[in-house]
Amino acid sequence: MKKERLFTPGPTMVPEDVLLEMAQPMQHHRTAWYRQMHEELHGLLQYLFQTKATCLTFTGSGSAAAEAAIVGCCPPGHKALVVVNGKFAERWEKVCATWSIDHTALPIDWGHGAKVADIQKAMDADPKIDTVIVVHSETSTTALSDVEGIAKLTRDRGAILIVDGITAVGAIPVKMDDWGVDAYITGSQKALMLPPGLAFVAVSDRAWERIESGKMPTLYNDLKAYKKSLGTWDAPYTPAVTLVRGTLHVLRGVKERTLEGIWKETSLLAKATRAAAEAMGMKVYATDVVDSVTALLVPEGVDEGALRKTIRAKHGFQIAGGQGDLKGKIVRLSHMGYVDAFDTIGAIAALELTLAEQGYDKIGLGVAAAQRVFAEDLK
Amino acid sequence: MKKERLFTPGPTMVPEDVLLEMAQPMQHHRTAWYRQMHEELHGLLQYLFQTKATCLTFTGSGSAAAEAAIVGCCPPGHKALVVVNGKFAERWEKVCATWSIDHTALPIDWGHGAKVADIQKAMDADPKIDTVIVVHSETSTTALSDVEGIAKLTRDRGAILIVDGITAVGAIPVKMDDWGVDAYITGSQKALMLPPGLAFVAVSDRAWERIESGKMPTLYNDLKAYKKSLGTWDAPYTPAVTLVRGTLHVLRGVKERTLEGIWKETSLLAKATRAAAEAMGMKVYATDVVDSVTALLVPEGVDEGALRKTIRAKHGFQIAGGQGDLKGKIVRLSHMGYVDAFDTIGAIAALELTLAEQGYDKIGLGVAAAQRVFAEDLK
C-alpha cells in the first residue's frame, strides 16, 4: 500500500467528508435551495475574511478573481503600485500591463515581504499612486507581507489596497476590517481544502465607490454583476454548484474550529517544520517567513528533481519545487487545510529517508525536533 | 420516499459513477498524471466537436468561454453580426457592446433559429461584416439554428463563424470540421452530464489567425495562453481538477456509446415528449424545434408557477419555466445527458398528475403517446 499525501501549496488535500458532500445528487442553482446556501455561505465568508464587506464567489481560478478585482479597482485616472516579490506578484503586474492600467512596479528581493517603508517611499515619490497591490503570502517564495501596516498607510493616504490572500486567508491571521483592506482575494484549493474552481473576493465600501465609478469592459468578470445578484442571493452566471456546496460544508467546520484555532494550528505545523529543517541542517529560504507554506533550500549535492520524484514515487508525498529562478534550489511544503501534526511528521520522515538515499543522512533528527515542538505545545 | 429528478436544461443529472469519480482523492495538476489526462481529454473533445482543431478547457461558466471566444475573434477592424433570437443570443450581443466590438444585431422572432437567408441579406447589406455569432440551440426558446448552412455561407464569404453550442454539443449533431465552424463553445453541465464549472472551446485554424492578429486585453480569458499550454498538456491557470477528471470519465463513455447513438437517443426523447404534448393538447412553443430541450406552452387557465412548484414539491421533478417575455408562458424539459425513456415517461406522468390537480385532466394520454414513440423505435 502507498498512501498519497498532497503537501503542495495548492491544491491541498480534500477531507473525505467534503468529497462525499460534493458527490451528492446535482441540484439546480435557480432555486430556494441555492439561495439559502448562498446566504449562509456569504455570512461564513464574512467570518473567514473578518469583514462586514460584500464577499463575491467566482467560478474560476484565483487569478480570474484577482484580475477582476484589479481591473475593477483601477479604472482610467488611477495609478497602481504593484509590489513585486515573486511569481504571483509578477502576474498582477502583468494584469496591469495587459489592461493598460497606469502602474509602477516596486521590485523587492524574493523571499522578502512587502513592507510599509518601501511603499511609503514609492508613494511619496509619486503622488499619483492611489492603489496598492500586494501579495499577503507569496506562495512562490513563502514570504509574508506586512498587510496590517500597509493597510494603515493606504487608509491614511486615501488609497485603495488590494491584497492577494490566496495562501493567506484561512491559514494565517487576516483581519480585513480591523486592518482596512479594500479587496482581499482567495481561492478554494488552499486553506479551504477544496478542489480548485472557485475564488472569493471581499470588497470594501471604499473599493465599491471606485469600482462603480468606472466602466468594467468585461461581462463575466464584472464585480458589479456579482454584487447585484447578491441582492437575491443569486449568481450572475451558472456557478460551480458542487464546489459551492463543498465550500459551505468546509466553512461551517472552520467556524466551529474557529479561525484563531486554525491560525494557531497552521503556525505550529510551520514552526515544527522549520525546527525539523534546522535539526537536519537545511536552511529556510524566506527572510520574512510565512506560516502557510515553508520553503527549504535543498542541501549542497542533493538533486532537487530526483528528491521530489523519489519522495513521491516511493513514499507518496507530493511536495513542490521552486518556480522561476528558484527552480532546483528549494522544496516547498504546505501547512494549509487538511493536514495535521502526524501528516507533517510523516512528510519530514519521508524527506529524511529520501535525502539519506542521496547521501545526506540526518535520519530521525528532523522528526525528533518537530516532535519537540508539538510536545512543547501540549504543555 | 421522494426521488429528485433534474429535467432543467442545465445543470442536468450527474451519473452516480461520475460523482464518485470526482470524489477520488485530490491530485495536483502540475504532474504527469494531469498531463496524460489532459492529452486524452483533448482527443475526446476533438471527437465530441467532430474536429481536428484545438480544444481548450476553461474553468468558468459557458458565458466566460463564449466571451473569450467572441473577444478573441473580434479585434478592432472587424465587424460582427449577432443573430438575436433569445436570452443567450442577447448575452452575446451584450458581450460585443461591453467590449465596444463593432457589431450589428439581427433580431429574429423568438422560437425561430438563425437561417442562411437572413444572414446572407445582412452580410450583403453591410460588407464590413466578417464575423457571425449564432446560438446553435437557443436554450431559452428551444430553437434550432441552421449551423451547417450558415457555416457554408461564412466559409464562402471568408467570414469567421462563432457558435454557442452550449445545449447542442453532445446532444444533437455537431460537425465542426465538416460544416466549417470556427469557434464552437460548450459547457460541462448540459449534455456532458457534469456539474457546472468547466467550459470548452474548439478553435479552427482560421479563427487562430484572427485571434493571433489581435492583442487580447485580458489575462485569464486569453485563448492564446490556453493554446500555448496545450503544447505541454498543461493549463495556464489552476484548473478545476475534479471536474476535468469527471469530464474525461464522461467522454470515455460518450465515445463508447458513440455520438451518433447519443444524438439518436436524445432525438427520440424529444420526439416522445412532443408526441405526449400533442396527445395532452399542449402546444410546442418553438417553430424551429431543437431536440435537446422541449418548451411547451402552458394551457389556458393553468398557473405555470404553481405547476412547477407542485411538480417539484410532490413528485421531485425539476422542470424549467420561461425567461424574459416567456416567463409564465412555457415550461421546458431537458433531454440532455443522464436521462432515458423511463425518466422521460416519469416526467410526463408527473406533468399529467400536476395538470390534473389544476383541472386540466389528460391523465394517461401523454404517457401512452410517448410509449408509442418508444415502441415504434423498438421495431
The answer to whether residues B291 and B249 belong to one domain is no
| B98·A221 Cβ contact <8 A | no
Task: Considering only the beta carbons, identify the residue of B6, B217, B220 that sits closest to A60.
Answer: B220
In chain B, the number of structural domains is 2
| B219·A23 Cβ contact <8 A | no
pLDDT band at B216 (very low <50, low <70, confident <90, very high): confident
The pLDDT value recorded for residue B235 is 96
| A6·B24 Cβ contact <8 A | no
Integer Cα distance of B361 and B198 in angstroms: 42
Which spans in B144-286 are helix H? 147-157, 176-179, 205-213, 223-230, 241-257, 259-279
What DSSP element (H or E) covers A117? helix A116-125
Integer Cα distance of A120 and B210 in angstroms: 44
The answer to whether residues A186 and A38 belong to one domain is yes
Q: Is A282 exposed, middle or buried (0-12, 13-18, 19+ CB in 10 A)?
A: buried
What is the least distance, in Å, from the CA of B93 to any CA of chain A? 11
The amino acid that residue A305 corresponds to is: G
Q: Which residues of B touch A26 (CB under 8 A)?
A: 6, 11-14, 195
Kindly report, residue by residue over B73-126, the tens digit of the pLDDT. Answer: 999 999 999 999 999 999 999 999 999 999 999 999 999 999 999 999 999 999
Asked if residue A11 has a cis previous peptide bond (ω within 30° of 0), the answer is yes
Residue A93's nearest CA partner among A162, A194, A146, A143 is A162
Residue A202's nearest CA partner among A37, A18, A44 is A44
Report residues of chain A scoring pLDDT below 50: none
- C-alpha distances (whole Å) from A61 to each of A10, A11, B341 are 11, 11, 38
Write the CB contacts of A175 (distance below 8 Å, at least 6 apart in sequence): A50, A148
Q: Which residues of A touch B23 (CB under 8 A)?
A: 19-20, 22-23
The pLDDT value recorded for residue A137 is 98
Kindly report, residue by residue over B121-144, the tens digit of the pLDDT. Answer: 999 999 999 999 999 999 999 999
| A6·B12 Cβ contact <8 A | no
Integer Cα distance of B67 and A65 in angstroms: 16
Give the end-to-end CA distance of chain A in Å, rounded to a whole number: 35
The answer to whether residues A102 and A171 belong to one domain is yes
Integer Cα distance of B250 and B293 in angstroms: 20
Q: Does A100 contact chain B (CB < 8 Å)?
A: yes
- Polymer length in residues for chain A: 379
The neighbouring-strand residues paired with A203 are A54, A183
Average pLDDT score over residue span B348-370: 98
The pLDDT value recorded for residue B217 is 82
| A318·B29 Cβ contact <8 A | no
The question of ipTM being above 0.85 is answered as: yes
Kindly report, residue by residue over B178-215, the tens digit of the pLDDT. Answer: 999 999 999 999 999 999 999 999 999 999 999 999 88
State the cell numbers at A328.
532546483
The answer to whether residues A124 and A234 belong to one domain is yes
Task: Considering only the beta carbons, identify the residue of A14, A196, A241 that sits closest to B195.
Answer: A241
The answer to whether residues A217 and A73 belong to one domain is yes
Kindly report, residue by residue over B254-283, the tens digit of the pLDDT. Answer: 999 999 999 999 999 999 999 999 999 999
Task: Considering only the beta carbons, identify the residue of A13, A67, A197 that sits closest to B197.
Answer: A197
Average pLDDT score over residue span B214-233: 93
The answer to whether residues B237 and B269 belong to one domain is no
Q: What is the CATH number of the domain that holds A35?
A: 3.40.640.10
Kindly report, residue by residue over A209-253, the tens digit of the pLDDT. Answer: 999 998 888 899 999 999 999 999 999 999 999 999 999 999 999
Nearest residue of A to residue B197, measured between CA atoms: A240
Q: Is the pLDDT of residue B358 over 90?
A: yes
The answer to whether residues B179 and B323 belong to one domain is no
Q: Residue B157: give the domain boundaries.
A: 17-257
**A-B Cβ pairs (cutoff 8 Å, strict):** 170
Task: Considering only the beta carbons, identify the residue of A30, A98, A189 that sits closest to B219.
Answer: A98
DSSP secondary structure string, A256-307?
A: HH-HHHHHHHHHHHHHHHHHHHHHTTPPB--SSB-SSEEEEEPPTT--HHHH
The pLDDT value recorded for residue B324 is 87
DSSP secondary structure string, B249-312?
A: HHHHHHHHH-HHHHHHHHHHHHHHHHHHHHHTT--B--SSB-SSEEEEEPPTT--HHHHHHHHH
Q: Does A283 contact chain B (CB < 8 Å)?
A: no
The pLDDT value recorded for residue A217 is 81
Q: Is A125 exposed, middle or buried (0-12, 13-18, 19+ CB in 10 A)?
A: exposed
Task: Considering only the beta carbons, identify the residue of A91, A99, A219 that sits closest to B63.
Answer: A219
Q: Which residues of A touch B247 (CB under 8 A)?
A: none
The pLDDT value recorded for residue A324 is 87
Q: Does A22 contact chain B (CB < 8 Å)?
A: yes
Task: Considering only the beta carbons, identify the residue of A91, A196, A238 that sits closest to B196.
Answer: A238
Q: Which residues of A touch B94 (CB under 8 A)?
A: 219
Q: Does A12 contact chain B (CB < 8 Å)?
A: yes
Residue B95's nearest CA partner among A235, A33, A221, A281 is A221
Task: Considering only the beta carbons, identify the residue of A28, A63, A238 that sits closest to B219.
Answer: A63
Which of the listed residues B213, B240, B257 is the one where a domain comes to its end?
A: B257
Residue A27's nearest CA partner among B340, B308, B310, B5 is B5
Q: Which residues of A touch B216 (CB under 8 A)?
A: 98
- C-alpha distances (whole Å) from B180 to each of A323, B62, B280 are 41, 21, 41
The answer to whether residues B211 and B320 belong to one domain is no
State the cell numbers at A122.
514609492
Kindly report, residue by residue over A115-126, the tens digit of the pLDDT. Answer: 999 999 999 999
Residues 30-69, chain B, touching A (beta carbon < 8 A): 30-31, 59-64, 67
The answer to whether residues B246 and B372 belong to one domain is no
What is the least distance, in Å, from the CA of A219 to any CA of chain B? 6
Q: How many CA atoms lie within 13 Å of A321's alpha carbon, on the beta-carbon side?
A: 18
The answer to whether residues B156 and B276 belong to one domain is no
What DSSP element (H or E) covers A44? helix A32-49
Which of the listed residues B257, B289, B324 is the one where a domain comes to its end?
A: B257
What is the least distance, in Å, from the CA of A379 to any CA of chain B? 35
> What is residue B59's three-state secondary structure?
strand
Handedness of CA B125, B130, B134, B136 (dihedral sign): positive
Q: Which residues of B touch A11 (CB under 8 A)?
A: 26-29, 238, 241
Average pLDDT score over residue span B297-309: 97
pTM of the full structure: 0.96
The answer to whether residues A50 and A140 belong to one domain is yes
The answer to whether residues B176 and B198 belong to one domain is yes
Residues 185-204, chain B, touching A (beta carbon < 8 A): 187, 189, 195-197
Q: What is the CATH number of the domain that holds A357?
A: 3.90.1150.10
Which of the listed residues B257, B290, B325 is the one where a domain comes to its end?
A: B257
The pLDDT value recorded for residue A238 is 97
